[in-house]
Each structure stands twice: as structure tokens, then as C-alpha cells.
Amino acid sequence: MIPPLYIASVDAYSGKSLTALALGLSLREADYRVGYFKPLGSLPHTVGGVVTDEDALFISHRLHPEAPVEAICPVLVTPELTGRALRGQLVGLAEQVRDAYQKVAAGRDVVIVGGLGTLARGSLLRLSAAAVAEMLGARVLVLARLAADPSAEEVLLARQLLGDRLLGVIFNFVGPDEQEALAGPLGQHLEGRGIPVLGAVPRDELLGAVSVRELVEHLPAKVLCCETALEELIVHFVVGAMGVASAAKYFRQVSDKAVVTGGDRADIQLAALQTATKAVVLTGNIYPSPVIVQRAQQLGVPLLLAPHDTLSTVERIEQIAGRIRVRADAKVERARALFAAHVEVDRIRTALGLVGRPGRGPAPKGRRRQHR
């Protein structure tokens, strides 16, 4: 039987969900019946009276829409659950995860298992990445951000922790200098230590974009107009705290942006609306003038009323800016393109034992990275 593939990471927000979806869609296109399972979730979402994880539901619907919703993500990590764990009152969580996995895996050729947070997440519940991989007999694909040498050292530590279950590593957010390092001594060193380097995916602004809807939910903010544009993606955030002349010049240089400014700065708001702006965040809970609202409605640009001052609002935005979230279709398509170009899918398939296409002969090889 083909072992499940656990997608883990040594860094939080490193693209586990998009990697799982991109790989799953690639395997499904090769006629494999792919399932998705997430043992631990942190984004509660109710559908049909069942509480599951929002990202897990999105991915499962794309890969295996017939999967039982109650089994996709059996354990939601909540403060209440954490408190019970600290008091030693948890019983049967491992069995709950194992039973749910069996339901998802029924009739599937391969199941992709999505991790939560880092390799250590879930340890309090005795459901860390290593523990779940051992329980399910899974191979583990580790993701890492190659931003500094410590990331490579974390990957080496993952090898010690996971042993032969480690299938390999994919580095995300890779810049030109880092790409060169992976093509040379660093990549050779990791391969020599038994860690196949299976991908080096470059930085991409769209993958770190935030939808207007996500921004509204996180601040939280009140939408004053243009609710139909909430799925637009924000790549850049600009604080409009300068003079209007300087602001207008700067705004013209930045596209796909949200402008954060005081609700009483009508001059800055108007300057933002005259350029390529996805949303205007009005801070201080100050309503804009009717002229601004009318102009925003004409252009289809949402005005978001934030309850906090500008500094506090920017701090909240920094908490979500650049995090990779999986829900936008545009992100999924970009991730698939990057995955096809920069990840060695053929090596992943071979390591899992997926050496042929069901009923259609040998599987096509994925594109190899040019620098290897």
C-alpha cells in the first residue's frame, strides 16, 4: 500500500497548504485518486452542522469532494483542548485521528496529510508531526524558508527527528543567492546527509497576498462600500501619513495595494482612489466624507473602517501580511505553476512508490530544476 505523505515544516507559514494542494492536483491529473487529511486544525469552520478546519475543507473539496466532512480534520486545537491536555484529561485522541484517517483513505491511491505549524506543534497533545507520521506509517516532506543558515540546521535536526521517514525537503521563498547556495555546497551537503532537496521555489508576491475579506476579518473592520470586491488580493500595504503631494507620487508607483490612513485624511483617501488601489483602510473609527464614499463606489474600491488608530492597525496588518493562505483561486494557480517549474515531482512520486499512471502506463517525469 502506498504510504501517506505528511507535509510538515520547520517554519510556520511556509506554504504547507498550497504545497499539499499543488502536489495533490498534480497527482490527480496523473489519474491517482488523492485524498487530503489534516489531523490538527486551528481555523474552525462549520458546514452542515459539522465543525472542521477551513483550509482543510478547501483543499479536500479540490482533491476529494466526496470525503466525509467530519473526518477531514478530527481535532481542532482550542484553548479548552490545550487546558485539558495540561491537566492530563485527554484520552483517545490518537485513536480519533487514526479512525478519521481510515475514513478519508478509503478508496484512495494516496493521501496527503497536512501538518499544522512546525514539527513540534501538537506535541502537547502527543500528536506532533513525528508522532502522527509514525502512527500512520507516513513519509514526511519538510518545507523550509531558506532565509538564513539556521533554516538549514533545522532541516538537519528534522532528519534526526524523523529518520528514514523523511522523504526530502522543499525550500520556499528562495532568492537568487540562496538558489546558488542550493545548487552548490549547501544542496550537496544536505543530499550527502540523506536529505533529498526536492525543490527550490522562488519568492512570489502573489502567494503572500491578502484578500480584502481576510483583512476585514483580521482587523476587524466594517465594510462601508463595494462588498463585491472583497476577494481582491492585496500585495502591498502603504501607510498614508505624508503630505498629499508626496503621497500621490508614491501611490502611483505601487499597484495592488491597500492604503492605510486616518479617517479624517480626505486628501490622502482621494489620492489613493486615483491610483491602482484594492482597498482603503480608514483608521480611528472615523467615517469618511460622502464625497469619498461616492468616489469609492464609482471605482469599486472597498472602504474599510478600522476601530483602532493607525499604528495599532498597521501592527495588526503586519501579523498577516506575507502569510501564505490557500483560499484564493489565483494563488492556487500560481502555486501550481511554480510547483511544476521548481519542484521535482518525479522524485517525490518515485519515493512514494507511485511509479506508474493507473491504467495509462508510466508516469510522466516532472520538470527537474535546471541547476541540479
Q: Which 3 state secondary structure label does DSSP give 69?
A: helix
CATH numbers and ranges of domains, the chain: 5-204+326-362 (3.40.50.300), 210-320 (3.40.1390.20)
8 A C-beta contact, residue 40 and residue 28: no
| Of 274, 298, 275, nearest in space to 225 by CA | 298
Query: Which helix or strand (DSSP H or E) is residue 259 part of?
Result: strand 257-262
The pLDDT assigned to 150 comes to 65
- CA-CA distance, 56 to 43, in Å (whole number)? 9
User: Cell numbers 481582491 correspond to what residue?
Assistant: 232
The pLDDT assigned to 319 comes to 83
- CA-CA distance, 233 to 213, in Å (whole number)? 9
| Amino acid sitting at position 274 | Q
φ/ψ of residue 184, rounded to 5? -115, -130
Q: What is the pLDDT along the chain (372 residues), one digit of tens a residue?
A: 689 999 999 988 888 999 999 999 999 999 999 999 999 999 899 999 999 999 999 999 999 999 999 999 999 999 999 999 999 998 899 999 999 999 999 999 999 999 999 999 999 999 999 999 999 999 999 999 876 556 788 999 999 999 999 999 999 888 888 888 888 888 999 999 999 999 999 988 888 889 999 999 999 999 999 999 999 999 999 998 888 888 899 999 999 999 999 999 999 999 999 999 999 999 999 999 999 999 999 999 999 999 999 999 999 998 887 666 677 788 888 889 999 999 999 999 999 998 765 644 444 444 444 443
φ/ψ of residue 134, rounded to 5? -65, -45
Q: pTM for the complete prediction?
A: 0.83
Spatial neighbors of 231 by CB under 8 A, at least 6 apart, are: 211, 212, 213, 328
- CA-CA distance, 80 to 82, in Å (whole number)? 5
| Of 8, 17, 114, 20, nearest in space to 326 by CA | 17
Spatial neighbors of 97 by CB under 8 A, at least 6 apart, are: 39, 74, 75, 127, 132, 135
Beta bridge partners of 259: 238, 280
Other CB atoms within 10 Å distance of the CB of residue 328: 20
User: 244-253 and 266-273 helices cross at what angle (nearest 10)?
Assistant: 20
Query: Which helix or strand (DSSP H or E) is residue 91 part of?
Result: none
The pLDDT assigned to 314 comes to 94
Q: Which three cell numbers, joined as nine digits, stand for 126?
A: 502527543
8 A C-beta contact, residue 246 and residue 268: no
The pLDDT assigned to 355 comes to 77
8 A C-beta contact, residue 219 and residue 210: no
Compute the residue count for the chain: 372
Contacts made by residues 210-216, CB under 8 angstroms, sequence distance 24+: 210/234, 210/320, 210/321, 210/323, 210/325, 211/325, 211/327, 211/328, 212/258, 212/278, 212/279, 212/302, 212/304, 214/320, 214/325, 214/327, 215/258, 215/279, 215/281, 215/304, 215/317, 215/320, 216/304
Tell me whether strands 139-145 and 5-9 are parallel, antiparallel or unpaired. Answer: parallel
Spell out the alpha helix ranges (H) of the chain. 16-29, 54-63, 69-72, 79-86, 93-105, 129-136, 149-162, 176-183, 185-192, 212-218, 244-253, 266-273, 290-299, 310-320, 329-342, 345-352
